[in-house]
Amino acid sequence: MQLFFAEHIEGNTFHLDPEESNHLIKVLRKSKGERVSFTDGKGYLYQCVIQDANPKKTKLSVESRHFTPEEDFYIHLAICPTKNADRMEWMVEKITEIGIHEISLIQSEHSERSMIKLDRLEKKIIAACKQSVKTRIPKLNPVMPMEKLVSDHRYDAYERFIAYVDKENDRHLFEKATVNKAYLVLIGPEGDFSPKELELAFKYHFHPCSLGKSRLRTETAGLAAVHTLQLLNAISRD
């Protein structure tokens, strides 16, 4: 299935903006009467027909729609942006394909980058959702201080983990997490979290966890954490 995205789909007909219209009609050479699949990123899958193949304002009609319920678990990854923006964009793309629900960008003592282009990351997320046929767009939060996130009481009911490198921290996330929960996982920068930041996380009931014996890059650790939690919940359904 080839999936397209339109944020606002209301009623029985809707129009695409010039960029999406041009992509659909000029690039992909879709024509009037063809059926195409759309999502609004809120869980709905729409089967549509092209009514007017206008490359500046394509009009479509909705034939049917299907709602995908939310999953029984929720993965929130909080991660320090990498110095190389391309590596962060790659990670965001891949964890979207695997299955992430929310991403927070955090600033720590050893962070190498404090600014990141959210609009570029959002485009990567939408493209990854279309490629992997997902009908829900993950939430992306702007950069915030680590202290602000870990002290936020909205996450009191979450299973909270902080992944860092330590020979005594050898229990894997797969062993410590339980199925069908909301999770919040902290991933630090290349220089890892400082001792002060670890103490702060422990104060707010974050549990230490390992992502394996190897020392991972920041973006690899983020990918490993998301895949681990997806695998844990997939196995529980079998």
Q: What is the structure's pLDDT at 165?
A: 72
Q: What is the structure's pLDDT at 111?
A: 81
Q: How far is CA 62 from each of CA 13, 38, 45, 51, 53, rounded to the nearest angstrom?
A: 6, 9, 10, 10, 15
- What confidence tens digit (pLDDT) does each residue in 160-184 have? 999 987 767 778 999 999 999 999 9
24 burial (CB, 10 Å; 0-12 / 13-18 / 19+) is: buried
Q: Which residue has the higher pLDDT, 63 or 113?
A: 63
One-character DSSP codes across the chain: --EEE-S---SSEEE--HHHHHIIIIIS---TT-EEEEE-SBSEEEEEEEEE--SSS-EEEEEEEEEPPPPS-EEEEEEPPPSSHHHHHHHHHHHHHH--SEEEEEE-TT-S-S---HHHHHHHHHHHHHHTT-SBPPEEEEEEEHHHHHT-GGGTTSEEEEE---TT---BHHHH--SS-EEEEEE--TT---HHHHHHHHHTTPEEEB--SSPPPHHHHHHHHHHHHHHHHHHHH-
Q: Is the pLDDT of residue 155 over 80?
A: yes
- What confidence tens digit (pLDDT) does each residue in 191-210 have? 889 999 999 999 999 999 99
Q: What is the structure's pLDDT at 176?
A: 95
Q: Is the pLDDT of residue 99 over 70?
A: yes
Lowest mean pLDDT among 21-25, 112-116, 133-137, 226-230: 112-116
C-alpha dihedral (222, 228, 230, 231), degrees to nearest 10? 150
Per-residue exposure over 126-165, b if at least 16 CB sit within 10 Å of its own CB, e if not: bebbbeeebbbbbebeebeebbebbeeeebeebbbbbbbe
Mean pLDDT on 2-31: 92
Q: Which residue has the higher pLDDT, 192 or 5?
A: 5
Whole-structure pTM over 0.85, yes or no?
Answer: yes
Q: How far is CA 138 from each of CA 43, 77, 88, 128, rounded to the nearest angstrom?
A: 11, 11, 15, 10
pLDDT band, very low/low/confident/very high, at 238 (cuts 50, 70, 90)? low
Q: Is the pLDDT of residue 133 over 90?
A: yes
> How far is it, in rounded angstroms, from Cα 13 to Cα 51?
9
